[in-house]
Amino acid sequence: MFLIINHQICALFNYNKTSAKHIRTYRVIDSQRDMHTTTNPQLGLLDSLMTTIPANDFLERLERALDWKPIERALQAMYPATTGRPPCPPLVLFKMSLLQHCYGLSDPQCEELVADRLSWRRFVGLGLQDKVPDETTLVRFRQRLLEHGQQEKLLQLVNRQLQAKGLILKTCTLVDATLLQAARRAPAQQDKEAGDGQAGYTVKQGQPHYGYKAHLAVDESHTLIRQATLTAANVHDSQEFETVVQGDEKMVVADKAYWSQARGQWCGEHGIANGILRKPSRGEKLTPANLRMNTLLSAIRCKIEKVFGWWKRSAGYRRVRYVGREPNRLELEFKCVCWNLKRLVTLTGA
């Protein structure tokens, strides 16, 4: 027997909304400061009756696999006010952002689907009687993340847990970059105000490209992203090598675009084995030994392409959403977090 949920269910159960709101909302007291805010709501009367809510296996396993409390504390620190109307729970907005970036949704689409899908509503921590945060609230949440510099910190919050679980082994790091189309069309030569002022031009395989470039360092053992940066498309791949490489790995593998004598020396100074594919000097050819080495290294390096493939095929991340580097850097951070959480669920079998 199925329980049908519709807009008249409150009337059917003669449900008192005021009482329900009192049941579902509670205060969270921080041990270090008297900061309080609403957080994951408790189940209300209607929620307890919903024993046959359609399940989303991935989201249920993700909810179990990760400890959300450190992330919640970091997000609540962005809301220092202790008086006035409590803000929308930041963890709810964070989880909505994860769904948005996992499935390539716009703000209105994310709001609509969280309101429509019971499994999504349960994952983000909303009861059946709770109002779903609207698209404007999501926009303000992103602005607050940028104001507090979280566009380069969210991945590290997740990676600390991955490292504690022994999933980031630091034996080998893969480095590569991928192009992302700008949110605006490339401006005409005579129109300097159009387009994105922080995007850039480049040519790849004979085709012009206008936009950005995402640079990644990925742990080879479990294909987990360790670091990411975003630059204009015209920045050469190798210029971000020292930025994304952490320095605590035993070996680094990258394609020929990163090869140089100076970079090999940098790896030696940091005690890192140089696994960059060899590139011959002008007028010379690689020795048979170097050719065999490149073949072996290529088989290792190609694992990083799984990340780019999932981004572009499944998450729709072929094009950035916003204008300007910082908003797009935050989008890249969420894409990296989504990939690592996806891998966490797969690796732990939660």
pLDDT tens string 163-205 = 999 999 999 999 999 999 999 998 877 676 788 999 999 999 8
What would the mean pLDDT of 40-50 be, rounded to a whole number? Answer: 55
Per-residue pLDDT, 191: 73
Using one digit for the tens of pLDDT, what is the confidence trace for 72-109? Answer: 999 999 988 776 677 789 999 999 999 999 999 999 99
Per-residue pLDDT, 33: 38
CA distance 144 to 38: 17
| Distance from the first to the final alpha carbon of the chain | 30
Continuous segment of H or E residues that includes residue 210: strand 207-219
The CATH architecture of the domain made up of 166-185+195-324 is Alpha-Beta Complex (3.90)
CA distance 107 to 109: 5
Question: 251 is written with which tokens?
Answer: 């070996």
Q: Write the burial class of residue 210 (CB in 10 Å: 0-12 exposed, 13-18 middle, 19+ buried).
A: buried
Listed in sequence order, the DSSP H helices in the chain are 9-12, 17-24, 45-49, 57-65, 69-76, 90-102, 107-116, 118-124, 135-147, 154-164, 241-244, 261-269, 288-301, 305-313, 325-348
CA distance 180 to 212: 5
In order, the DSSP letters of 128-184 are TTSPPP-HHHHHHHHHHHHHTTGGGTHHHHHHHHHHHTT----S-EEEEEEEEE-SS
Q: Judge contact between 212 and 328, C-beta under 8 A.
A: yes
* Beta-bridge partner residues of 228: 216
Note the pTM of the prediction, 2 decimals.
0.84
All CATH 3.90.350.10 domain ranges in the chain, comma separated: 166-185+195-324
For 28, 47, 108, 208, 236, the CA distances from 179, given in Å and listed in that order, are 43, 45, 27, 11, 11
Which of residues 19 and 166 earns the better pLDDT score? 166
